[in-house]
Amino acid sequence: MPFRFRLAKVLKVRRRTLEQRTREMAAAERDLQLCREREERLAAACRRLVQAAAPAPGSRLDVRDLTEQALRLRSLQDEHRAATLVTQAAHLEAERRRDLLTSAWRAVEVLRNLEDRQRGQWDAEQRRQEGRLLDEIGGLRADRLRRSKVSA
């Protein structure tokens, strides 16, 4: 009779859960990376706008241009702050997914260890039974050998 792990179905479900958590973690990491890239693009746009807004020495200042630049800079800064908040939320989500992945991995690992332990116990029991059977066969042969020597 081959070894049969009684919790094999539970282990199978937990492995599927682990695979799902792995996919979710990968998606959360991709989302976080996209958020970071967007945040960096907005920060770079703000820096470029500030550098471009600096008036050249001796040039005339146009109030309309300065107002437009200030409004554009404020708009970019608002977008950057919003992107920062979204990045922070994505980071928290990635951490949450990482915790779920860790929990799923532990659940699978516990069942794997239990399966290994039970398989080891089963193997030991099989060896004991085989040893008993061999001892019994050896005893029967020894009895036959003694009987054949006595009758001879």
Domain ranges of the chain: 8-151
Amino acid letter for position 84: T
Q: What are the tokens at 144?
A: 């036959």
- Give the total residue count for the chain: 152
The per-residue pLDDT for range 101-133, each reduced to its tens digit, is 999 999 999 999 999 999 999 999 999 999 999
Give the residue-averaged pLDDT of 80-85.
Answer: 97
- Identity of the residue numbered 76: L
Mean pLDDT score, 67-89: 95
**What local confidence, expressed as pLDDT, does residue 131 receive?**
95
In the predicted structure, residue 152 carries a pLDDT above the cut 80:
no
Instruction: Return all residues near 14 (Cβ < 8 A) that are at least 6 apart.
Output: 104, 107, 108, 111
pLDDT at 36: 98
pLDDT at 13 over 90: yes
The CATH number of domain 8-151 is 1.10.287: yes
Question: Per-residue pLDDT averaged across 78-100, rounded?
Answer: 98
Report the pLDDT value the prediction gives residue 59, as an integer from 0 to 100.
Answer: 73
pLDDT digits (tens, 9 = 90+) for 31-49: 999 999 999 999 999 999 8
